[in-house]
Amino acid sequence: SMGYESDAAVEDEEAEAQERDRGVVERPLGDAEVLAADGNWAEAVHTLLLKTLMELAIKRGQPLKSSLTSREILSRVGLPIPARDALSEIVDVVEISHFGDLPIGENEYLRCLDSYSRFSTAYLQGAA
């Protein structure tokens, strides 16, 4: 009957939305892991952050202005607070390395992965 078809269509849309949300967190992570495997810790952390912000902006249909800082972008992409807090921990690491001239090593990368894992859990729950 008609009712059943519309339910199926809604489920398809939900499945597609979940796929998209997973892509938002999985693609940047995959790229970062490739860099980290070669010991490019700083690049891995930067990639993790920037690609995630890019994916979030694209998903919202807001192309990123290059003039915006990571922090400004983070406040504009409409994340649930726990997801935003976790991602802002990665922004902290990037800013400290950039402005404080502290190199990002394996420890920092692993700490960022931990933050990222909390981000992706909160994001996928919030987006569901």
The predicted-structure confidence for 36-92, as pLDDT tens digits, reads as follows 999 999 999 999 999 999 999 988 888 778 888 999 999 988 899 999 999 999 999
Per-residue pLDDT band for 30 (boundaries 50, 70, 90) equals very high
Give CA–CA dist 29/83, Å, rounded: 15
CA dihedral over 69, 74, 75, 77, signed as positive or negative:
positive
d(CA 118, CA 92): 15
CATH topology of domain 2-127: Four Helix Bundle (Hemerythrin (Met), subunit A) (1.20.120)
Higher pLDDT, 38 or 20: 38
Q: What's the predicted TM-score (pTM) here?
A: 0.84
The pLDDT tens digits for 97-128 are 888 878 899 999 999 999 999 999 999 998 65
pLDDT of residue 99: 84
AA identity, residue 27: R
Are the C-beta atoms of residues 71 and 88 closer than 8 Å to each other? yes
Q: How many whole angstroms separate alpha carbon 126 and alpha carbon 62?
A: 19
Q: Which residue has the higher pLDDT, 96 or 10?
A: 96
Sketch the domain layout of the chain as residue ranges: 2-127
Cβ atoms < 10 Å from Cβ of 86: 21
Residues 28, 77: Cα–Cα separation, whole Å: 16
Q: What ranges in 38-105 are assigned the alpha helix state H?
A: 41-59, 70-76, 81-99
Spatial CA neighbour of 51 closest among 75, 78, 70: 70
